[in-house]
A and B are shown apart, each in its own frame.
Chain A
Amino acid sequence: MLEHNRTNPVITIVFILGSLACLIPFWLILMVSLSGQNALAKYGYSFWPREFDLVAYRFLIHDAEPILRSFGVSILVTVIGTAVSLLVTSALAFSLSRQDFPYRGAVSLFVLITMLFGGGLLPWYLVYTKFLHLQNTLFALIVPGLLGAFNVFIIRTYFTTSIPPSLIDSAQIDGASEYRTYFNIIIPLSLPVLATIGLFTIVGYWNDWFTSLVFINTDKLYNLQYFLYNTLMNAQYLQSVADKAHIDAASLQVQPLEELRMAMAIIAVLPVALVFPFLQKYFVKGLTIGAVKG
């Protein structure tokens, strides 16, 4: 192995190009968000604006209250949701990982089916509003994302492959209950997979706008992505409405500036980009996938 201590330069070049390809679009929207409106109309989008203008960000700061609030909602939902989700998902995965768990095959199938069949929008809405009465609460934003079958299986696979059963066995011979085994032995040993799934969940919550659209009617509880979606979509939507209703779209005055949309996109991406490097080191270890039957 000694002779291979340096990376092949061809590989390095491939990866540098690959990384650039992934970063460049973000750079482009960042630069558009910093461009002046007239320069945009004249010269188009470019990687280095001819005229810098912070008007989009100034506008965002000026109208900061709703953005900050939606930011707060997003963070709250993401933090609580991710914590509860990890607990519930890993607990289910723990039971499923135990070969001696009665009916584990049936329960596995029960979980698997949800991966192939989902709920429809309307019945799903009815369950949440008529049965659980969660509309217009933060629960409506949290509960839908709590458990994903895919995550259960990833965690389950990690438990069966990376935690020696003898460890569980000896703990239980020492008189540890299942709960203590789970909390004191399994969880501390599973940081890589929990970090990985945690990041998925964080991203899932952070990027979710649809639940907000469906269940939230008060702007106090809008999350950031919905706020962003709304700004982006309103512009597109109003254009078509204006044609049909014979009204002037501009007079509806929700038409945001190009650079404002881009600035909002940047703001939405930022937190994910920031939290990402801290969790990234667990990724490779945590992401092992095994068959459902286990």
Chain B
Amino acid sequence: MAITAICSFAIPDFSLGFTLRILRFLYIVLGYIAGFLGIAIGIFVQLAILANSKSFGVSYLAPYLPVTNLNTDASYFVPPMWNREKRADFLNTKKPKSQEKISMRWKFWKGNR
């Protein structure tokens, strides 16, 4: 209970915490019924429902699920600024490429170019 209460401070908006208040009781009941098996049931079903949901046409868990490209600026491991060549897929941009492969050309110039 203490851990979930402290973790709830990580939720940026107050109204987003309402679901957590309700789900907390569901997880308590699941934990009482079957211990960590019940908690695992709750996590699995909740993740599946979140993965199936969409918000304004964009997957609810974007950019983490579905994984389309690992080389964008929105993924688990964010590459350095000079390596962020593609925009995030879920944005459905007109130009998916944001910069060239070699963005720091000045680093590789030789002589008076």
Whether both chains belong to one complex is answered with no
Residues of B within 8 A of A (CB): none
Residues of A within 8 A of B (CB): none
